[in-house]
Amino acid sequence: MKPSKTSKGWMKEHLNDPWVQKARAEGYRARAAYKLMEIDDKDHLLKPGMVVVDLGAAPGSWCQVAVKRIQPGGLLLALDILPMDPVPGVSFLQGDFREDTVLAEFERLLDGRTVDLVLSDMAPNISGVSVSDDGRMMHLAELALDFAANHLRPGGNMLIKLFQGAGFMDYRKAMQQMFGSVLSRKPEASRDRSAEVYLLGLKKSG
């Protein structure tokens, strides 16, 4: 199938993106690495010895950043339904984290330790139809929040990507009920025209 003008235009923009070029030069798998770096430099989420879970981790750029910042003594567990090339120091589980067999393996890898931080940079394949995209994005976000409700320790934190569209304010209210405070972050590496924003939930309630 011949590529559309839209897809060719996106590819040209992507290849010329300075963050994409920087990621390639510095060995990161995606420009998203710089989003996590900027947020962490500001909010100091990642600390040595922490247990961190990265939901929807593929291709692994957030893992590349996080695993370095939680050493020595840290544990990073990454989950995704898609395959991901290994990242040194990261334990990766391929599968749906809603499934009992995947959760059982996840709990085995935790080995009794509690989760300090949940990261989620998940997003659906974008169709360009905002109503559909917003709905699918919100579904993923709700799954991540439910995961945090069940596995994140009291006092722990969560960082998640959302689209500013239908359901956004209701989701933020749900986070505010779970966390002591909820902050918005829009890192420089996020494209200006993108509707994405990151919500940071601090100090999960007991």
Beta strand 152-163 with 115-120: parallel, antiparallel or unpaired?
Answer: parallel
Quick one: which of 117, 54, 116, 107 has its CA closest to 80?
Answer: 54
Choosing from 161, 186, 203, 204, the catalytic residue is 161
- Tell me how far apart the alpha carbons of residues 95 and 81 are, in angstroms, rounded to a whole number: 4
- Tell me how far apart the alpha carbons of residues 200 and 176 are, in angstroms, rounded to a whole number: 10
Q: Is 12 among the catalytic positions?
A: no
Binding-site members for S-adenosyl-L-methionine are 60, 62, 80, 96, 121
Binding-site members are 60, 62, 80, 96, 121
The predicted pLDDT at position 137 comes to: 84
Residue type, 36: L
pTM reported for the whole predicted model = 0.88
CA 101 from centroid of its chain's CA atoms: 22
Question: In the CATH scheme, what is the homologous superfamily, with its name and number, of domain 30-204?
Answer: Vaccinia Virus protein VP39 (3.40.50.150)
Instruction: List, run by run, the mean pLDDT of 10-residue segments along the chain (206 residues).
Output: 46 69 94 96 98 97 98 97 96 92 93 96 68 76 95 98 90 98 94 85 96
For the chain, domain boundaries = 30-204
122 to each of 9, 18, 20, 25, 187, how far by Cα in Å?
A: 24, 22, 18, 24, 16
Q: Which ranges in 70-197 belong to alpha helices (H)? A: 100-110, 130-151, 168-178
